């Protein structure tokens, strides 16, 4: 037999060791830190004092850059970039696809005398005009007004991307239409950070910690798989869909837990060193790297940053992971479920908020006053998740994440909050108003200051909750590994803004004239929230089936799939929330609904096309070749007078028949599908008809994989992809 699969294995075993071409020992990664970033300190050195001051003011206030400042910044930026060998600049923006897009321009213009001159005015920094007509926009822009503007987001620094053939200055930008509508994933983040700050200040005033801008912070733990590139290219499904559409579970799976925190393989380690170095050059604070649960699965986490910068850095990090993996002969798979039956990948988004004056608001303090502030923010979070559980569900809804949520390694689609027993007890105590209660872990001291001391960094960990309190932050674990964290951050910012708006309103109405009175007011707010919203708090095992029943009894929403979830973007409650805080208009939300729904449908379309294609041109031929081998063998045996049963050939024949039938059925469904015009109906059709039929094909193919001769099987197996490195 000769298959692409066997060729792939041969290529890997013969591959020479890969060299990075860099000396990692002589120059430690720390020396690269921020080397390619036009940072604040770089600007401080290069800009006139007044210009720098004005720029800093713009950064903290979130205002747009005025043109005279922009001109000066552009000049300094150009000088810096040219000195580092840049020839081009690119406005980098984040369209609704969740990917990163770039428009490149050369610095050099003809000077009119046959020569060339490097130009880069402030206007080029503030606005580019990419022809964005090919980016999905959900109908906001007609093709005749296809142009959008990209505007430098001054809160996110410009940076250089090096390529062996040249260097490009990259400018992170927001992407908006002529009419000012957000066409991207950055604009809503910036708007939601403003809204969050405004509402937070009202609350902080009561604790004397208001003033400095309050930002949300994010630290996203990225999970991913690495497989050899030879396998990747031998699997059309991985290449086109990012996941395997067929494949039987490997004989050795993850049952020994021998991969988790185990030694990192040599090639992978080399890759990780280089990823870290590339991150450091761009000022991305790479921090943690380790093996994950599944074989071939790894995790990478940075130190948290302000949500907006963290979101940009997260996108850059995904690009770096893919690029460096490629250099080391591997493919980096970011899909949530590349291999059915094997643990999937998530992106746990750690979320908090704070400022220099307020500290980290989710960090319980040492003093009763700090604890009071902490309790208000915690209660606000509980209230926010309770009210907008479906929004949090919708912002993690993608075709790919559907394969992971609710499987055995990821939180279910039911949004709940994990507080841990200690914090839960404190909430209960406040509700009961009984100040004499003492818990096992700490004696609650509700005296003059009313509010109890709260143990710091509660030891509890719960890995099954979609939203877990982890001692000084919340961890949103339902986010998918391939997703931009923008949507989740926008949702967290806006629901917190609303909850804090309500908290501030309560406190403003109450008597807060003394510390005791303020304590009472805080207590009243917390117990009100607890009464209304504590059904969203769940401290048990989120993976258990018992929780599904319990959640249903509690009346918590359970939107199992993307098709069920996306409608949330169009609900009146969502629209009024987003409009109230000026984050997205009804039209902007509608455009997002359309784009996301179309992406869901398009994903299923590519996948089902490929199921048909691979089923007919790879699996079917392998199966009938094996069938004829069996037939030949039976005929030969018969010729020499040996009678045997026909079990093997009967089984293969019936599997081939089911394969043909299910493929034909799938094709019929796809023909039916082509006449559906309503996008919501289309999503439902995909969910209830197309996806189940694809699974039916898969079941047969996977059964064949266990039966067909190994030298005829065309696709690299899970065993090979996950264990050969």
Write out the residues near Mg ion by the rule CB under 5 A.
Answer: 221, 348
Residue 224 CA to residue 391 CA, distance in Å, equals 26
Nearer to Mg ion, 543 or 600 (CB): 543
Find the binding residues for ligand ADP in span 443-482 (CB under 6 A). 472-473, 475
Q: Is 314 in the site for ligand ADP (CB under 6 A)?
A: no
Least separation in angstroms between residue 360's CB and ligand ADP is 5
Nearer to Mg ion, 51 or 539 (CB): 539
Nearer to Mg ion, 404 or 698 (CB): 404
Nearer to ligand ADP, 430 or 492 (CB): 492
Nearer to ligand ADP, 220 or 227 (CB): 220
Q: Which stretch binds ligand ADP (CB under 6 A): 147-155, 302-310, 316-324, 511-519?
A: 302-310
Partner from ligand ADP, Mg ion, none binding residue 562, C-beta < 5-8 Å depending on class: none
Binding mask 240-279 for ligand ADP (x = CB under 6 A): ----------------------------------------
Partner from ligand ADP, Mg ion, none binding residue 288, C-beta < 5-8 Å depending on class: ligand ADP
CA 690 to mean position of chain CA atoms = 26
Residue at token pair 């987001």: 153
Report which DSSP code applies to 616.
I
Q: Is 223 in the site for ligand ADP (CB under 6 A)?
A: no
HSE, CB side, 13 Å, CA atoms: give it for residue 668. Answer: 8
Find the binding residues for ligand ADP in span 360-389 (CB under 6 A). 360
Q: Is 219 in the site for ligand ADP (CB under 6 A)?
A: yes
Long-range contacts of 597-602 (CB under 8 A, 24+ apart): 597/566, 597/679, 597/680, 597/682, 597/683, 598/136, 598/679, 599/97, 599/136, 599/398, 599/399, 600/398, 600/399, 600/562, 600/563, 600/566, 600/683, 600/686, 601/679, 601/682, 601/683, 601/686
Structure token digits, residue 638: 């018969």
Q: Is 217 in the site for ligand ADP (CB under 6 A)?
A: yes
Q: Is 288 in the site for ligand ADP (CB under 6 A)?
A: yes
Cα–Cα nearest to 593, from 568, 574, 560, 617: 568
DSSP string across 237-281 = HHHHHSS-SS-PPPSS-STT--STT-PPPHHHHHHHHHHHHHHHH
Residue 629 CA to residue 709 CA, distance in Å, equals 10
Q: Site size for ligand ADP, by CB under 6 A?
A: 16
Nearer to ligand ADP, 381 or 663 (CB): 381
Q: Is 45 in the site for ligand ADP (CB under 6 A)?
A: no
Partner from Mg ion, ligand ADP, none binding residue 304, C-beta < 5-8 Å depending on class: ligand ADP
Residue 528 CA to residue 371 CA, distance in Å, equals 18
Residue 311 sits at the vertex; the CA angle it makes with 594 and 377, to the nearest 5 degrees, is 95
Among 352, 429, 534, 591, binds ligand ADP (CB under 6 A): 352
Residue 238 CA to residue 331 CA, distance in Å, equals 10
Partner from Mg ion, ligand ADP, none binding residue 379, C-beta < 5-8 Å depending on class: none
Structure token digits, residue 451: 């509010």
Least separation in angstroms between residue 427's CB and ligand ADP is 21
Partner from Mg ion, ligand ADP, none binding residue 599, C-beta < 5-8 Å depending on class: none
Q: Is 214 in the site for ligand ADP (CB under 6 A)?
A: no
Least separation in angstroms between residue 471's CB and ligand ADP is 9
Residue at token pair 């079941």: 699
CA-CA distances (angstroms) from residue 568 to 283, 396, 565, 683? 36, 12, 6, 14
Among 90, 203, 204, 218, binds ligand ADP (CB under 6 A): 218
692 membership: H or E segment, kind and range: helix 691-705
Q: Is 356 in the site for ligand ADP (CB under 6 A)?
A: no
List of residues contacting ligand ADP (CB under 6 A) = 217-219, 221, 288, 301-304, 350-352, 360, 472-473, 475
């Amino acid at each position: 037999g000769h298959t692409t699969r066997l060729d792939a294995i041969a290529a890997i075993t013969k591959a020479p060791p890969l060299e990075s071409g860099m000396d990692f020992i002589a120059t430690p990664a720390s020396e690269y830190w921020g080397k390619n970033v036009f940072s604040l300190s770089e600007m401080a050195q290069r800009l006139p004092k007044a210009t720098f001051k004005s720029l800093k003011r713009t950064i903290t206030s979130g205002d747009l850059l005025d043109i005279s400042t922009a001109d000066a910044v552009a000049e300094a930026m150009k000088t810096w970039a040219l000195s580092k060998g840049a020839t081009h600049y690119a406005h980098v923006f984040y369209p609704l696809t969740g990917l990163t897009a770039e428009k490149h321009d050369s610095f050099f213009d003809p000077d009119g005398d046959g020569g060339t001159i490097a130009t880069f005015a402030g206007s080029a920094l503030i606005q580019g005009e990419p022809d964005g007509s090919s980016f999905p926009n959900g109908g906001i822009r007609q093709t005749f007004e296809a142009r959008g503007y990209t505007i430098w987001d001054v809160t996110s620094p410009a940076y250089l991307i090096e390529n062996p053939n040249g260097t490009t200055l990259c400018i992170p930008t927001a992407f908006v239409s002529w009419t000012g509508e957000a066409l991207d994933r950055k604009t809503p983040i910036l708007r939601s950070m403003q809204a969050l700050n405004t509402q937070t200040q009202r609350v902080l005033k009561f604790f004397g910690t208001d003033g400095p801008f309050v930002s949300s912070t994010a630290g996203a733990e990225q999970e991913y798989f690495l497989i050899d590139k030879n396998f990747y290219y031998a699997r059309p499904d991985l290449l086109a869909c990012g996941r395997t559409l067929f494949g039987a579970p490997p004989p050795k799976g993850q049952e020994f837990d021998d991969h988790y925190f185990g030694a990192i393989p040599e090639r992978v380690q080399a890759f990780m060193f280089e990823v870290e170095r590339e991150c450091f050059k761009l000022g991305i604070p790479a921090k943690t790297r380790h093996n994950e649960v599944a074989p071939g699965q790894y995790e990478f986490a940075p130190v948290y940053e302000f949500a907006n910068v963290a979101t940009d850095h997260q996108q850059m990090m995904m690009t770096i992971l893919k690029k460096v993996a490629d250099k080391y002969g591997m493919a980096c798979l970011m899909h949530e479920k590349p291999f059915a039956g094997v643990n999937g990948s998530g992106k746990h988004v750690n979320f908090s908020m704070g400022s220099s004056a307020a500290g980290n608001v989710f960090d319980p303090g040492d003093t009763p006053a700090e604890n009071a502030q902490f309790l208000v923010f915690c209660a606000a979070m509980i209230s926010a998740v309770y009210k907008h559980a479906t929004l949090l569900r919708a912002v993690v809804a993608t075709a790919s994440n559907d394969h992971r949520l609710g499987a055995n390694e990821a939180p279910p689609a039911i949004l709940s909050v994990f507080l841990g027993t200690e914090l839960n007890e404190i909430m209960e105590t406040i509700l009961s108003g009984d100040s004499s209660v003492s818990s096992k872990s700490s004696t609650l001291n509700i005296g003059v200051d009313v509010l109890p001391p709260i143990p710091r960094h509660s030891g509890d960990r719960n890995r099954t909750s979609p939203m877990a309190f982890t001692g000084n932050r919340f961890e949103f674990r339902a986010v998918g590994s391939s997703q931009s964290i923008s949507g989740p951050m926008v949702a967290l910012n806006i629901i917190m803004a609303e909850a804090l708006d309500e908290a501030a309103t309560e406190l403003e109405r109450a008597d807060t004239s003394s510390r005791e009175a303020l304590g009472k007011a805080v207590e009243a707010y917390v117990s009100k929230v607890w009464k209304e919203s504590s059904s969203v708090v769940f401290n048990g095992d989120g993976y258990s089936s018992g929780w599904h029943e319990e959640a249903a009894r509690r009346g918590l929403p359970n939107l199992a799939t993307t098709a069920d979830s996306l409608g949330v973007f169009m609900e009146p409650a969502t629209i009024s929330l987003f409009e109230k805080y000026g984050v997205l208009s009804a039209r902007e939300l509608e455009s997002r609904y359309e784009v996301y729904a179309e992406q869901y449908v398009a994903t299923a379309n590519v996948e089902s096309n490929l199921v048909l294609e691979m089923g007919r041109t790879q699996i079917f031929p392998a199966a009938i070749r094996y069938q004829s081998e069996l037939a030949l063998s039976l005929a030969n045996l018969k010729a020499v007078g040996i009678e045997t049963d026909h079990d093997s050939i009967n089984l293969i024949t019936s599997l081939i028949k089911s394969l043909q039938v299910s493929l034909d059925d799938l094709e019929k469904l796809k023909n039916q599908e082509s006449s559906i015009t309503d996008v919501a109906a289309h999503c439902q059709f995909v969910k209830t008809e197309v996806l189940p039929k694809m699974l039916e094909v898969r079941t047969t193919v996977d059964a064949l994989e266990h039966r067909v001769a190994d030298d005829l099987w065309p696709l690299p197996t899970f065993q090979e992809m996950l264990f050969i490195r």
